[in-house]
Amino acid sequence: MSVLSNHMPTAELQALDAAHHMHPFTTNDELAEKGARIITRAKGVFLTDSEGNEILDAMAGLWCVNIGYGRPEMAEVAARQMMELPYYNTFFMTTHVPAIALAQEIAKLAPEGLNHVFFAGSGSEANDTNIRMVRTYWAEKGKPAKSHIISRKNAYHGSSVGSGSLGGMAYMHAQGGLPIPGIHHINQPDWWAEGGDMTPEEFGLARAEELEAKILELGEDNVAAFIAEPIQGAGGVVIPPQTYWPEIQRICDAYEILLIADEVICGFGRTGNWFGSQTMGIRPHIMTIAKGLSSGYQPIGGSIVCDEVAQVIGATEFNHGYTYSGHPVAAAVALENLRILQEEKLVDRVRDVGGPALKAGLESLNDHPLVGGISIKGMMASIPLTPHKESRAKFATDAGTVGYMCRERCFANNLVMRHVGDRMIISPPLVIELDEIDLLISRAKKALDETYAQLKDQDLL
C-alpha cells in the first residue's frame, strides 16, 4: 500500500490526484493540466496549502464549517463514539442514543411544530427523502394525484437524480436526463439580475405570483409541494425582495401545498437566526438540513418534519432509508456542534456582531467601480460585478468570465471567495473575528482592484 503524506512534493501529489481522482463539478482534464490546490490543514478560518500559504476561507468550505476548523472537542467526541459504537443502523425497530439525542436537540431548536427528524447522509439525500415523503403523505391522505413538485430556476437542492431535478440549474439538467417527470420550475426572485425596471417590491410579488399561476396550470389537486431555499445559496446568494416570501406563504396556505424550506445553507445560524425560515418569516412543513448541522466535520443531513406530516407518514411503513441514516458517529459529532453553537452563542453573534461587521466591511467596497451593490443577510453575502452600477449592466464578455477572473485574483491573494457567474459570494465560518473580517475585506479589495486593472489592460471595460 502506498503511503502518501502532506510532506510530499506538491507536483507529485497533483499528478497522482489527476491520475486517479475524479473531482465533482470539475473539468478533470483542465485540473490535470493546472494541478489541484492541495489543502493540508486548517484552523479557525484559515486553510493551509501544500506550499505553506495561509488562505482565509470566506466560504467556510462549501458553506458548512460554521464553528470553524480544528475544534479538538469534535475529534474527541468522534473518537469516543467510534470506540463505543462505531456503527449501527436505525432500521428494523432499532435505535441508539446519538440518533435519539440529536433528533431531540434538533426538534428543540427548530420552529414550533417541527418536531421529527428523518436522517440522511447529505443534503441531496435529504431532498430525495422529501420527494418521496410529500408524495407518500398525499397518497396516504387519499390524494395520490397530488404528486407534482414546484421549484425554481437557478435553485440548488443537490446533485442526485431526485435532488438535481428539484434544483433548477440548467447546466446540470443538460447532463444525465434531468429533471425527472413531475417537477416544475418557476422563475427565481433575483431582482438584481432579472428585475429590469421594476422596483424590488413589484418584482418580488410578480415572481411569487408565478407560483399561483403554476398551481392553477397544473391543477391544485395535482400539486404536492413547493420547495425553495429561504435565500438561494449556490444560485448566487439571492435574497428575495421583502414582498416575495409572504406571498409565497399565502399561496401555499391557500392551495394546501406543502412548503419545503431547503435550509442546507441557511440553517444553523448562517442568516442570524437558527433557520433561514425564521429570518424570512415563513412556516415550512419540512426543512432540509445538512452542512452546518455538523459544521462539515461528519457527513450528515436530514429532513425536519412537522407533526401533521410525521403523523400521516408514521401510520404506514415508509419504504425509504439510508444505511447511514442517523449514523452514530455523525450524530454524536453533530450534537457536539450544536452544543458549541449554543454555548458560544454563535447565532446571536452572527446577528449582533459578525454579520453587521461583515456588512459594514462589504459596503465599504460599494464605491469600487466594479461593485454593483452588496446583498447580505447574516453571514451570507454577494457582490455582483458590473461595468455600470446604475443599470446593473452585464459585461460584454461571456457571463462568468469576470467572476472567474476575480476568483483567481482572490486565490492569488490568499482568499477563498467563490463566483457564480459574475457575482462573488461570501459565507465565512460564523466564528470569524473582527480583525479577520478586516483582512477578508482588504484581500477582497485588492482582488477587485487587480481584476479591474486586468479588465482595463485587456480592453474589456
CA gap 458, 402 in Å, rounded: 12
Number of residue whose CB is nearest ligand PMP: 123
Q: Quick one: which of 223, 148, 236, 224 has its CA closest to 188?
A: 236
> Cβ closer to ligand PMP: 299 or 354?
299
301 binds ligand PMP, rule: CB under 6 A:
yes
Task: Tell me if 304 sits within 8 A of 291, measured CB to CB.
Answer: no
- In the complex, least distance from residue 282 CB atom to ligand PMP, rounded to whole angstroms: 15
292 binds ligand PMP, rule: CB under 6 A:
no
> Cβ closer to ligand PMP: 151 or 386?
151
> Cβ closer to ligand PMP: 90 or 154?
154
- In the complex, least distance from residue 22 CB atom to ligand PMP, rounded to whole angstroms: 16
Window of 169-177, 226-234, 319-327, 330-338 that interacts with ligand PMP by CB under 6 A: 226-234
What are the DSSP E strand ranges found in 195-353?
Answer: 223-228, 258-262, 286-289, 301-306
- In the complex, least distance from residue 285 CB atom to ligand PMP, rounded to whole angstroms: 17
The reply to whether omega before 246 is within 30° of 0 (cis) is: no
By CB under 6 A, what part of segment 111-150 binds ligand PMP? Answer: 122-124, 127
> Cβ closer to ligand PMP: 158 or 361?
158
Chain centroid, CA 372 distance in Å: 23
CA gap 326, 298 in Å, rounded: 11
- In the complex, least distance from residue 270 CB atom to ligand PMP, rounded to whole angstroms: 10
Q: Quick one: which of 401, 414, 402, 399 has its CA closest to 444?
A: 414
Q: Which of 114, 134, 211, 234 binds ligand PMP (CB under 6 A)?
A: 234
Task: Tell me if 242 sits within 8 A of 167, measured CB to CB.
Answer: no
Which residue bears the cell 466591511? 361
230 binds ligand PMP, rule: CB under 6 A:
no
Chain centroid, CA 366 distance in Å: 25
> Cβ closer to ligand PMP: 45 or 60?
60
- In the complex, least distance from residue 427 CB atom to ligand PMP, rounded to whole angstroms: 10
- In the complex, least distance from residue 266 CB atom to ligand PMP, rounded to whole angstroms: 8
Q: Which of 146, 152, 157, 349 binds ligand PMP (CB under 6 A)?
A: 157
By CB under 6 A, what part of segment 241-280 binds ligand PMP? Answer: 262, 264-265
239 binds ligand PMP, rule: CB under 6 A:
no
Region for residue 209 given its phi and psi (left: phi exceeds 0; alpha: psi -120 to 50; beta: otherwise): alpha
> Cβ closer to ligand PMP: 264 or 335?
264
Window of 227-235, 361-369, 371-379, 387-395 that interacts with ligand PMP by CB under 6 A: 227-235
Window of 151-159, 321-329, 361-369, 403-411 that interacts with ligand PMP by CB under 6 A: 151-159
Which residue bears the cell 454577494? 382
Q: Quick one: which of 365, 392, 400, 405 has its CA closest to 381?
A: 365
Write the DSSP string, 175-235.
TTTPSPTTEEEE----HHHH-TTS-HHHHHHHHHHHHHHHHHHH-GGGEEEEEE-SSBSTT
Contacts of 383 (CB under 8 A, 6+ apart): 362, 365, 371, 372, 374, 423, 424, 425, 426, 444
188 binds ligand PMP, rule: CB under 6 A:
no
What are the DSSP E strand ranges found in 308-442?
Answer: 375-377, 380-384, 415-416, 418-420, 423-426
156 binds ligand PMP, rule: CB under 6 A:
yes
Q: What residue ranges bind ligand PMP (CB under 6 A)? A: 62, 122-124, 127, 156-158, 229, 233-234, 262, 264-265, 290, 301
